[in-house]
Amino acid sequence: MHEFMELSLNSFLFFANPQFQLSPPHGKVSRNIDLVYGGGSVGLMGLVSRAVYNGGRHVIGVIPKTLMPREITGETVGEVKAVADMHQRKAEMARQSDAFIALPGGYGTLEELLEVIAWAQLGIHDKPVGLLNVDGYYNSLLSFIDKAVEEEFISPTARHIIVLAPTPKELLDKLEEYSPQHEKVVPKTKWEMEQLSYCKSCEIPPGLKEGKPVVIQAQRGAML
């Protein structure tokens, strides 16, 4: 039996498509939480950031300099951090947040969502990952994940890394009660130690050292 882990969820990282518009019934939720997001001022990103900021909470937007002309129009709120690229953006957003929430979105949202899920499975972090399934938007993705569990590419416990709910209030309640149940590939402390030592103990495969191609094979049912 897994007990609930007491979380201090003060800062949430939101993944979303800037063009997605959240309808009023789904958008009304009030919590004393800070916001970390992709830094845009248009569409859903702008709506959420203004709502949190007007509620007296701290807002941090992290955005690559190249995307600023496209995703920032007019007034921005809170703190805006300009970074060099997408890798730095994601690393900084993850560092600043206590939990992750994905709203309906496209390729970018999916990439960010699946990455933080993979990080949780690997043991890089133990933060809850929430999926706001508005009007069943993510049902097809969830069916795909269930198929991967059935085919033994994803373990049943790792399936529960995703915290799912159709409304913001229900999702936030579940995130605050989240307790990891999956077996981490590597302990979190090991990742932290490796980062501090810059992975000095990591060995490069001989083929890579010699500049030769390395073939990676995966069997049906293999756990990656």
> Could you report the per-residue pLDDT of 5-31, keeping only the tens digit for each?
333 456 666 666 555 555 544 444 556
**In the chain, where the domains are located:** 11-209
**CATH architecture classification, 11-209:** 3-Layer(aba) Sandwich (3.40)
Q: Tokens in use for 177?
A: 């009660």
**Residue 222, burial from CB neighbour count under 10 angstroms (0-12, 13-18, 19+):** exposed
How sure is the predictor about 156, in pLDDT bands with cuts at 50, 70 and 90? Answer: very high
> Could you report the per-residue pLDDT of 136-151, keeping only the tens digit for each?
999 999 999 999 999 9
Residue 3 one-letter amino acid: E
Q: Are 112 and 102 in contact (CB under 8 A)?
A: yes
Does pTM top 0.75 for this prediction? no
Q: Are 112 and 90 in contact (CB under 8 A)?
A: yes
Rounded alpha-carbon distances, angstroms, from residue 142 to 148, 164, 175? 10, 10, 18
